[in-house]
Structure 1
């Protein structure tokens, strides 16, 4: 494709730098105000010894299975990153994009799909290996056809969200070559809010069916607990996760009138009602503290920060010579590679915040129910069912761990009981 596809922009370094500094400052302020950095205010959380919770056989099995999945996940991540870097940082990616034909928007969408498809195909063996491990260890109940269907749907969803983001940012870059980082940062922030709003009602139903929790003592107790905690919950939904997994889970998602609390059907059949209430109380803690909204605000500021950095990258002459500018279709692989690298580098910050938020939700559950022993029993059962490693490598937990370890969560419960 000739460079005339889009005029080569000369982005204002001042604008890009201002966006980077301002959005970075906003992120820091929001993190200071919204994130509960102290897991136990006025106290200190210490992980309990693994042998005080699990037998040696349980510890060994958790370490073995989690180790297999962890190493496979690292290999998957590395392979995907190599693909993104090779396509994005060399002339191979622009050459592939130059072969696309059609209107500009169509080529952006096709380019995003082509780059994503190459990455998925080259990492498919690792995805297959992860499913094989989970089937062997009875963590998965899904057939291979069901797994393949989920992989295809995941690819389609990822492609759609990626294409939308690229179209917004690149279209703005074409329309405002010098000031595009400012406008694109605002666009990225709005997309973060739109994604949080529509994800529960558009994407989640592609993977699970949701039904209201059946009337009964458990549902009544959960709604009464929500009322005591001043959390508006019109209903609690049950996901048919058992057709895919044997593990337990619950989550809160959405903002505004799309906010929902969802529990896996495996949770209802695998845990006694008292432990289910403790799990739901944790999710009510997320809802009471508006954690999805807080995460969306932080995500919007982080996205704007990334756009500012993109502006600085595209102020470099070597980058412009390679791809012709951020509005050029040839820039698609580079943009996706920068996003992949940025996401990896941002993981420690994102997961440090996530662990603090999860610890606060644990505190909220314990404060609402007062059921320390039930909480500890529930954490033990969740870890056993998922074959979790009670003592993952520290650097891995720091970089990739979105939740405190089970031993830290039990230590938090015991510290609160003592206090």
Structure 2
């Protein structure tokens, strides 16, 4: 299950639950092609959506990367920074702020037609409930949020490069790690509410069952919230967000109105698996480490004279180096993407196993995976190359097959007595 609460942006493969995992029981290999849970029409529908979205989603990524490289690896970016900075007085601070804002605005403007194209495709498949005005408002919100984050970062970065054009990356690496951890903690408090409204789930059997499920799993949650996802999409999802006192279970209202209570429990059990295995703090720590390493790499690359000459700048302290740093950061992101996806698929497969062990209900797990895939119009068995490059989750057929392998494994952990919805375990 995707844990991102922001407006959905389809992966370039068009699927919501991509790639198989090797985390099955030893000696038993799931065979997705033999899975009978999806009709030929359902498979064809998911495949058609993926193919229709692919030119827009992949085209947007490639166009964004091309623009970033054009501005960063040629004098065009330096000229842009000088021109927009000059309109604000031409000072170093003006060049940093205006240059950073110009890069963000150009990037967002380039993505608009691709995002609109993908939205049009998804609307044809019944996945969009939001009007164009709402979509445009979300784009403005995203732009404003990006500027609020990027502009102070650009000022801080160039304050460090002014301090030392050669060693700026040493303190910057530590600052990047701390910022990554801080944003992970603040995301559910400051960023999620920008895109969704959340309300407490009314008292009832389902809320009681979800809280009991978390208690049985040894996971403390503050509340169970409902996100108003239906004003944007018909897609189904749930997630657990926050740390400690801010941790809460969040369910899309689309999930609550579509799935059975037991299927909702299975979705939440998967998300509790992420908490139980400390995937968020571990992921945050790894993200912080990755951010520090990326900044160190930027520091080394930005000192390479051929790159500086190509970008038309003198050194990292020159505001005209801003497009070069952005281009190098984009390249590092592209190169690290497949590895991040591979790690994510393994983590998601482990959370699936946790859900099975917690509920001991493989059949309802299968029903839940089928419902999610059909409602989200997922490509249940996407091409392998797209899985390797872009998939953050195992494919629906692989998850179902792995669940049946788990069910058929005699040595699987014997479950404790499970509660039915609304029942407490004494």
Supply the distance in 2 between the matched residues of 1:169 and 1:256 (Cα, whole angstroms).
Answer: 31
Aligned to 2:380: 390
Is 1:92 the equivalent of 2:76?
Answer: yes
- Corresponding residue for residue 49 of structure 1: 33
Q: Distance in 1 between matches of 2:28 and 2:163?
A: 53
Residue 119 (structure 2) aligned to one of 122, 131, 137: 131
**1:221 equivalent among 179, 197, 209:** 209
User: For residues 100 and 318 of structure 2, what CA distance do their matches in structure 1 show?
Assistant: 13
Separation of aligned partners in 1, 2:263 and 2:119: 28
CA distance in 2, matches of 1:105, 1:42: 59
CA distance in 2, matches of 1:207, 1:191: 21
Alignment of 1:194-343 (within 5 A): 194-321=182-309, 322-343=312-333
Three-state SS of the structure 2 residue aligned to 1:52 is: coil
Distance 1:44 1:352, change over 3 A: farther
Task: Provide Cα deviations, 1:293-313, integer angstroms capped at 9, x if missing partner.
Answer: 111111111111111111111
Q: Give me the TM-score of the superposition, normalised by structure 2.
A: 0.86
Paired position in structure 1 for 2:355:
365
What is the root-mean-square deviation in Å for CA atoms of aligned residues? 1.7
Change in CA separation of 1:59 and 1:255 when aligned onto 2, cut-off 3 Å: same
Shift of 1:45: 4.5
**Corresponding residue for residue 110 of structure 1:** 98
Deviation at 1:106, TM superposition (A): 4.4
Q: Secondary structure at the match of 2:127?
A: coil
Contact in 2 for aligned 1:140/1:246 (Cα 8 Å): yes
Shift in Å at residue 104 of structure 1? 3.6
How far off its partner does 1:177 sit? 3.1
Does the residue aligned with 2:226 lie in a helix, a strand or coil? strand
Q: Secondary structure of the residue that 1:236 maps to in structure 2?
A: strand
> Which ranges of structure 2 fall in alignment gaps of 5 or more residues?
1-20, 410-426
Matches of 1:386 and 1:323, distance apart in 2? 47
Q: Give the distance between the partners of 1:108 and 1:198, measured in 2 at CA.
A: 26
**CA–CA distance in structure 2, aligned partners of residues 249 and 226 of structure 1:** 18
CA distance in 2, matches of 1:49, 1:301: 39
CA deviation after TM superposition for structure 1 residue 38, in Å: 6.0
TM-aligned CA deviation for residue 283 of structure 1 = 0.8
In the alignment, what sits opposite 2:391? Answer: 401
Which residue of the partner structure matches residue 345 of structure 1?
A: 335
Q: By how many angstroms is 1:42 displaced?
A: 4.1
SS across alignment from 1:252: strand
Shift of 1:112: 1.6
Separation of aligned partners in 1, 2:235 and 2:318: 45
Asked whether the 8 Å contact 2:172–2:295 carries over to 1, the reply is yes
Residues 30-41 of structure 1 mapped to structure 2, 5 A cutoff? 39-40=23-24
What displacement does 1:50 show? 5.9
Q: Tell me if the contact between 1:72 and 1:130 (Cα under 8 Å) persists in the aligned partners.
A: yes
1:418 aligns with 2:408: yes
SS at match of 2:236: coil
Contact 1:169 1:188 in 2 (8 A): no
Aligned-pair CA distance for 1:41: 5.9
The 1-side partners of 2:228 and 2:345 are apart by 27
Change (3 A) 1:417 1:51: closer
Give 1:177-192 correspondences, 5 Å limit: 177-192=165-180
Q: Distance in 2 between matches of 1:153 and 1:50?
A: 44
Which of 145, 148, 170 does residue 157 from structure 1 map onto? 145
Q: 97-106 vs 361-370, which deviates more? A: 97-106
Q: Secondary structure at the match of 1:214?
A: coil
Aligned length: 383
Shift of 1:197: 1.1
Q: Distance in 1 between matches of 2:236 and 2:24?
A: 26
C-alpha offsets along residues 267-289 of structure 1, whole Å, 9 cap, x if unaligned? Answer: 00010000000001111111111
Q: Give per-residue Cα distances to partners, 1:42-72, cap 9 Å, x unaligned.
A: 4554243265111111111110012111232
